[in-house]
Amino acid sequence: MAAVGTFTHAHRYVPATDASRPPLLLLHGTGGDENDLISHGRTLAPDAALLSPRGNVLEGGMPRFFRRLSEGVFDEADVRRRADDLADFVAESRRAYGLAAPIAVGFSNGANIAAATLLLRPEALAGAVLLRAMSPLRETPAADLTGKPVLILSGALDPIVPAENVARLADSLSRAGADVDHRVLPAGHALTHQDVDAPRAWLERRVAIEA
């Protein structure tokens, strides 16, 4: 298991034991770091390569992937800049580690930057699992996401993510051509066992379809 801090993002990289499996790009929530989702990623895809960067923005000492003005109100100029940074990091990592385009698995702030990257730099990602995501941009940029699979898991009791906001995100991705599966779980903002079971089964189906 490698720990690397010389790229544009400090990160951890775990090589694949089955190179045919799509790599996962693990994107933590506010206050997390490059270690947070390693065990989650290993459970979702035991044989896949894992690439887990740390967000480069600090809010009260807590790492994030982009700035916000208040809870639920994003600095959209910074969202765009950081999505570009993340896409460049993915390209850099693919060259360094010999990876295919990854499927992002993001939680909360990590899910939001994954969604922004899909919309702004769609070539960077092969798809995404968005856990408790919000729409990162008020105006949806033109993007061609034809055929890219996206699983969105939102919480019916989530006090942070308004239902209409995540529905707008799902609609924006669908209209851009993504193959969107949006499920509302009986959960709040925190992750539950369903956030392991559903993505694991979803990823297995994607691998079977592409085999």
Per-position DSSP letters for 65-88, written without gaps between them: SS-EEETTEE-HHHHHHHHHHHHH
Instruction: Report the percent of the chain where pLDDT is more than 90.
Output: 87
Query: pLDDT of 84-129, one tens digit each?
Result: 999 999 999 999 999 999 999 999 999 999 999 999 999 999 999 9
Active site residues: 108, 158, 189
Query: pLDDT of 144-158, one tens digit each?
Result: 999 999 999 999 999
- The single-letter DSSP state of residue 157 is T
Asked whether residue 1 carries a pLDDT value surpassing 50, the answer given is no
Task: Share the mean pLDDT of the chain.
Answer: 93
Q: Which tokens belong to 31?
A: 């206050």
For the chain, the domains span 2-210
CATH code for the structural domain at 2-210: 3.40.50.1820
Per-residue confidence (pLDDT) for residue 3, from 0 to 100: 47
Query: pLDDT of 134-192, one tens digit each?
Result: 999 988 888 999 999 999 999 999 999 999 999 999 999 999 999 999 999 999 999 99
Position 7 confidence tier, pLDDT thresholds 50, 70, 90? confident
Query: pLDDT of 30-68, one tens digit each?
Result: 999 999 999 999 999 999 999 999 999 999 999 999 998
Instruction: Report the percent of the chain where pLDDT is more than 70.
Output: 95
- Tell if the pTM clears 0.85, that is, is over it: yes
Q: Which residues of 114-151 are buried (b: 16+ CB within 10 A; e: fewer)?
A: bbbbbbbbbebbbbbbbbbbbbbbeebeebebeebbbb
